Structure 1
Amino acid sequence: MRVAAFDCGTNSLRLLIADVDAQGQMTELRRETRIVRLGQGVDATGEFAPEALERTFTAAREFAEVAAEFSPEKLRFVATSASRDVKNRDEFSAGIFGILGVVPDVITGDEEAHLSFLGATVGHDAKRGPFLVMDLGGGSTELVLGTESVTSAVSMDIGSVRLTERHMSVDIPDQAQIQAAIEDIDANLDKAAEIVDLAAPRTMIGVAGTVTTLTAGILDLDSYQRERIHGTHLRVADIDDEANELLGMGREARAALPYMHPGRVDVIAAGGLLFARIAARIDTAVKGVGAELDIMVSETDILDGTALDLARRQS
């Protein structure tokens, strides 16, 4: 079955067109990403800004043309954190329906967790579990625990865009601003630990653009190379070092990094800090029970999970 999956988050709109066979094996035909910053200002205003909607609709029109070239049998458009929080959701939904002919599916945090877990763990040996999938987005971050299926999950209302807008909307944040962001992150992790056992995983899989971009920096890549990033194993110390380096860079220096997408320049420092705090917290919890944590990076995520789930539903 040929499917087209759209994932609309706080920061990006993405498209995956793939063929999925009866055994659930997926062959990717086209993958596209556009940074649209749909969640611009949502944390403060509670609604989509007109310019954010227009950026998203422009990207959706482009993606509609791409999808038409492949004639998918089924389409699904999922929208996550930012779209759950707004007062003018109907305007967004009507615009997407007019462009793609499908109503955006504004999924719950629980379904977002399920789809992220499905996409991130596909092909992994269950013996390496339990897995903790960390989906670090612009508006929210999901922590999803499971082995062959999800056993617990939590969605935290912090991400690279929200943290930037709340605490670090300057070129180079000072220590007080960084500390405020750390306290916000740690408070959310304290609440998350009441729902998800942070000492349970043996493999942590980080997904989404912040994670993969930081990994490109740790690997010192001269361009963004998806095939080299996928499956990388990271150390907590390396994540922390990379996050601290980004926090000390000005916008111009971040923009000059050869692997940096222009749409991530303003929010990557806050996202890196979030990644580092989560990785350190989970690593400490796992070591506290006498075990070791393997931290991996995956280029497959909620978008892949959406495509797989769509094919399974319709087969």
Structure 2
Amino acid sequence: MPMQTPTERYAALDLGSNSFHLLLAEFRGQRMLRLHTDHAMVRLAEGLDAKRHLDPVISERALAALQRFRPVLEKLPADHIRVVGTKALRAAAASADTFLEKAESILGTPVEIISGIEEARLIYTGVMAAADEPPRPRCIIDIGGGSTELVRASETPEQLQSLYLGCVVYSKRYFADGIIGRCTVNHFHRAQRAARAKLQELQHMAAEAEVIGCSGTVKAVSRVLNGGEVADIKRGDIDQLASTVAAAEHIAELDLPHLEEERRPVFAAGLAILHAIFCELDIQRMAVSPYGIREGIVHDLAGRLHGGDRRFETVRAMMQRWQVHTNQVRRVSDTALKLLQQLRPTCPLEDRQRLRWAIQLHELGLALTHSNFRKLGAYMIKHADMAGFSKSEQEHLAYLVRNQRGRIKKPREHYGFHPNPDLLLCLRLGCIIHRDRSERSLRGINLARQGDAYRLQVERQWLDASPAIEELLYQEEQHWQSQPHPLRLLAV
């Protein structure tokens, strides 16, 4: 964990499928202190219909909950806040633009939709922040409202999994009317069998490992079994609890000690999933961590600001795996970033980083194909498990890589994805100037905005020395004619 200056404060807001959770934390040296926590039981996943549209009533309930968190967030710098959306918002992403825009307006900061694998990584980071013991094999399990994450780790994560089973989703599917067991149908057993089917081929995740659970479902079960305390869950105890719940007729009849009323509607579904994990992975004891994804987000944020940004490691690993030509990356990167500095002298660091990452990955697809390397590279970036990146960040990088040359494909813009033409132009020009993989100076070249258009001014002597590049630049001028900000090439 990188060093922080004393008393730095961060806020993490997790927009989960079951509940929204806020954490305000402070670093004092290497130690993180939780200053304030808050949560709202929203059950966002309950509001998704068959077409993954978000129910307006649930949406308004969620937005009302966000109003409560705003006073905490508005006191912090923007780069000390991270708001993430998980399974329900991943599923609703195509139809949730209005909700996300309203949420951003309320909170004053963007909402990042993250993949299930990134969710698992952040959960691991958070749980490990509370582990003082030396590294050893561990299996970390988080049951959320819409998905369940499992991590197998020792010193670092070895395998991350995100499964489509959660307490809200399973409540809606198996316990919609509140009935648990009646006549020949036992919904608890059906939910449990369905969860076990999802866990096939994952038995190794907990083999010879310390098992640690986190999240609301795990803590709720722990309290019921341990007299209201959050303590280890033992196999015999959860077996007995599962039998008791399965024997009940209706959720309303559950008379369980220390079961909070707001947890009651999803408790049977969450227990069915947790018991299925115990059975299928042959777990005898599960420790319960007080930390989870929110603590992971805070540590990730601190890392970004103090030299430990996981995204740099991810890009570097992808470059190594796919044998990206580093000299060409350097050439294109130096030129593109200098052009961006000419165009926007006060360009935000976030944009410069995005351009640099896109250039580092722009030839990713060359490892597998030459004719379609742009399309393949963009596909790999968009669908890869890229630790540290949100889904919209990956979409931005994929768009830049896909459009590094040739006709500029018009994107389908949506919340979190509004491509920046300045970055695209600088990337494309950098690729053109070094198309033959040669070193070239930018002396005699100037890029600027002139009204609604871009103006690229190039000295005639420079063009005469590189006739093939001159032709490519004139072709580039044509490609931008249909864009909102056309390009004008001026030879002087």
Same fold by TM (over 0.5)? Answer: yes
Are 1:143 and 1:153, in contact at CA under 8 Å, matched by a contact in 2?
A: yes
21, 41, 48: which one pairs with 1:42? 48
Mapped to 2, the partners of 1:201 and 1:238 lie a distance apart of 21
Query: Residue 292 of structure 2 corresponds to which residue in structure 1?
Result: 301
Question: Displacement, 1:218?
Answer: 0.2
Using CA pairs under 8 Å that are at least 6 residues apart, name the structure with larger relative contact order, 1 or 2: 1
User: Structure 1, unaligned stretches of length 5 or more?
Assistant: 222-227, 285-292
Query: Residue 259 of structure 1 corresponds to which residue in structure 2?
Result: 258
Are 1:128 and 1:202, in contact at CA under 8 Å, matched by a contact in 2?
A: no
Deviations 1:189-221 (A, max 9, x none): 01545xxx3353421111110110111100122
Query: Residue 218 of structure 2 corresponds to which residue in structure 1?
Result: 211
Mapped to 1, the partners of 2:26 and 2:242 lie a distance apart of 37
Mapped to 2, the partners of 1:122 and 1:201 lie a distance apart of 22
Query: Residue 26 of structure 2 corresponds to which residue in structure 1?
Result: 19
Please tell me the residue identity of whatever aligns with 1:250.
H
Residues 1:9 and 1:199: Cα distance change in structure 2 (over 3 Å): closer
Query: Residue 156 of structure 1 corresponds to which residue in structure 2?
Result: 163
Are 1:20 and 1:308, in contact at CA under 8 Å, matched by a contact in 2?
A: no
Mapped to 2, the partners of 1:133 and 1:220 lie a distance apart of 24
174, 177, 188: which one pairs with 1:170? 177
Deviations 1:27-83 (A, max 9, x none): 111011110111114263412111111111111111112344677861100110111
Mapped to 2, the partners of 1:191 and 1:46 lie a distance apart of 29
Question: Displacement, 1:99?
Answer: 0.6
Please tell me the residue identity of whatever aligns with 1:261.
E
189, 193, 211: which one pairs with 1:183? 193
Residues 1:43 and 1:283: Cα distance change in structure 2 (over 3 Å): farther
Mapped to 2, the partners of 1:244 and 1:63 lie a distance apart of 39
Residues 1:281 and 1:84: Cα distance change in structure 2 (over 3 Å): same
Residues 1:190 and 1:141: Cα distance change in structure 2 (over 3 Å): same
Query: Residue 240 of structure 1 corresponds to which residue in structure 2?
Result: 239
Give the number of the structure whose alpha-carbon radius of gyration is greater. Answer: 2
38, 60, 66: which one pairs with 1:54? 60
Structure 2 residue matching 1:155: 3-state secondary structure: strand
139, 149, 154: which one pairs with 1:147? 154
Residues 1:122 and 1:218: Cα distance change in structure 2 (over 3 Å): same
Mapped to 2, the partners of 1:104 and 1:128 lie a distance apart of 33
Question: Displacement, 1:124?
Answer: 1.9
Mapped to 2, the partners of 1:187 and 1:257 lie a distance apart of 28
Mapped to 2, the partners of 1:258 and 1:65 lie a distance apart of 35
Please tell me the residue identity of whatever aligns with 1:189.
L
Residues 1:253 and 1:128: Cα distance change in structure 2 (over 3 Å): farther
- Relative to the length of structure 1, the TM-score reads 0.86
Are 1:210 and 1:271, in contact at CA under 8 Å, matched by a contact in 2?
A: yes
Are 1:2 and 1:72, in contact at CA under 8 Å, matched by a contact in 2?
A: no
Question: Displacement, 1:102?
Answer: 1.3
Are 1:93 and 1:104, in contact at CA under 8 Å, matched by a contact in 2?
A: yes
Mapped to 2, the partners of 1:166 and 1:92 lie a distance apart of 24
Deviations 1:112-152 (A, max 9, x none): 01110111122324546311110100110011110222110
Residues 1:245 and 1:65: Cα distance change in structure 2 (over 3 Å): farther
- Relative to the length of structure 2, the TM-score reads 0.56
Structure 2 residue matching 1:113: 3-state secondary structure: helix
Say yes or no: does 1:311 pair with 2:302.
yes
Query: Residue 418 of structure 2 corresponds to which residue in structure 1?
Result: none
Structure 2 residue matching 1:263: 3-state secondary structure: coil
What is the root-mean-square deviation of aligned Cα atoms in Å?
A: 2.2
Question: Displacement, 1:298?
Answer: 1.3
Aligned pair count reads 294
Question: Displacement, 1:94?
Answer: 0.3
Deviations 1:270-294 (A, max 9, x none): 100111110222226xxxxxxxx54
Structure 1 residue matching 2:179: 3-state secondary structure: coil
Residues 1:28 and 1:71: Cα distance change in structure 2 (over 3 Å): farther
Residues 1:88 and 1:192: Cα distance change in structure 2 (over 3 Å): farther
Query: Residue 10 of structure 1 corresponds to which residue in structure 2?
Result: 17
Are 1:132 and 1:201, in contact at CA under 8 Å, matched by a contact in 2?
A: no
Question: Displacement, 1:303?
Answer: 1.0
Structure 1 residue matching 2:43: 3-state secondary structure: coil
Deviations 1:168-208 (A, max 9, x none): 22323224423321231111001545xxx335342111111
Residues 1:271 and 1:199: Cα distance change in structure 2 (over 3 Å): closer
Mapped to 2, the partners of 1:305 and 1:201 lie a distance apart of 25
Query: Residue 115 of structure 1 corresponds to which residue in structure 2?
Result: 122
Mapped to 2, the partners of 1:182 and 1:210 lie a distance apart of 15
Say yes or no: does 1:132 pair with 2:139.
yes
Percent of matched pairs sharing the same residue: 31
Deviations 1:219-265 (A, max 9, x none): 122xxxxxx41xx22211112222333342634344x7563333321
Mapped to 2, the partners of 1:301 and 1:215 lie a distance apart of 16
Residues 1:133 and 1:261: Cα distance change in structure 2 (over 3 Å): same
Please tell me the residue identity of whatever aligns with 1:283.
D
Are 1:129 and 1:201, in contact at CA under 8 Å, matched by a contact in 2?
A: no
Mapped to 2, the partners of 1:43 and 1:132 lie a distance apart of 33
